Amino acid sequence: MAVVSDLEGTLTTGETWRALGREAALRIGRGRYLAFAARRLPGMAWVMAGRGSKRAFQDAWLEGLARCFAGADEAEFEAAAVRAVDAELWPKRRHDVIAALRVHLASGEPLVIASGSLEPLVTAFARRLGEATGRPVQALGTPLEVAGGRLTGRIAGRISTGDVKAQRVHELLGSERLAVAYGDTGADVPLLLLADAPVAVYPDEALRRTASELGWTVLDG
């Protein structure tokens, strides 16, 4: 029986856009990156005012970040992903959630980190968690399109959130039962519904409401 956890907001309070943004600025230049961010500020304000979709805004930002690395070879981006995780995501990991995952790993349950973040970042975080626990951890993120060993700047297929994430987890695990799933937002509900024991971690309003209605465990300190 497998255990699956979301990454951003669930296992860490770090933010992918911030971590990878530093790497993007190094690659394309600070001026070009600031211009990239500035073009998206109106959309951010719209979301913060409650007039736009936060998920759509985050997905668009992720796609924009991917374009910043067009032409990079896979090894170059993987190194950037490791630096981003080490600088932002791993230092801000949620120790209480990591402790819960240690129990699962110690009992021999396989663990998968499933996230909408770009797959090399998820892989880098999974590797850090595996090193910390002494157990292998699988990673499932949003894949990047590669041609001739170099990134095209595009995402391969759809971003791994919501129903897409749940479907990819199902495809990865096949008939294997999903014992426990951890998530932090309403977008994680499709994933949590796959598990015998869903856990809402520091949930947003939408997930907290669903967790209350369905009697799910809530972990929020």
Q: 132-164 pLDDT, tens per residue?
A: 999 999 999 999 999 999 999 999 999 999 999
pLDDT at site 122: 97
pLDDT at site 46: 67
Domains of the chain: 2-219 (3.40.50.1000)
Strand-by-strand arrangement of the 111-118 sheet: 137-142, 111-118, 2-5, 178-183, 197-201, 217-219
pLDDT at site 200: 98
Angle 99-136-97 (CA atoms, 0-180°, nearest 5)?
20
Rounded to whole angstroms, how far apart are CA atoms 5 and 114? 6
pLDDT at site 109: 93
pLDDT at site 17: 85
What element of type H or E holds 40? helix 30-48
For residue 1, the Cα-to-chain-centroid distance in whole angstroms is 22
61: pLDDT strictly greater than 70: yes
Q: Greater confidence, 60 or 13?
A: 13
Q: 191-220 pLDDT, tens per residue?
A: 999 999 999 999 999 999 999 999 999 998
Are 18 and 88 within 8 A, CB to CB?
yes
pTM beyond cutoff 0.85? yes
pLDDT at site 49: 67
Question: 73 has which bridge partners?
Answer: 150
Query: What are the two backbone dihedrals, phi and then psi, of residue 35, each rounded to the nearest 5 degrees?
Result: -65, -40
Q: 80-117 pLDDT, tens per residue?
A: 999 999 999 999 999 999 999 999 999 999 999 999 99
Query: What are the two backbone dihedrals, phi and then psi, of residue 175, each rounded to the nearest 5 degrees?
Result: -85, 0
Q: 8-59 pLDDT, tens per residue?
A: 999 999 998 888 999 999 999 999 988 988 887 777 666 666 776 777 777 8
Q: 64-82 pLDDT, tens per residue?
A: 999 999 999 999 999 999 9
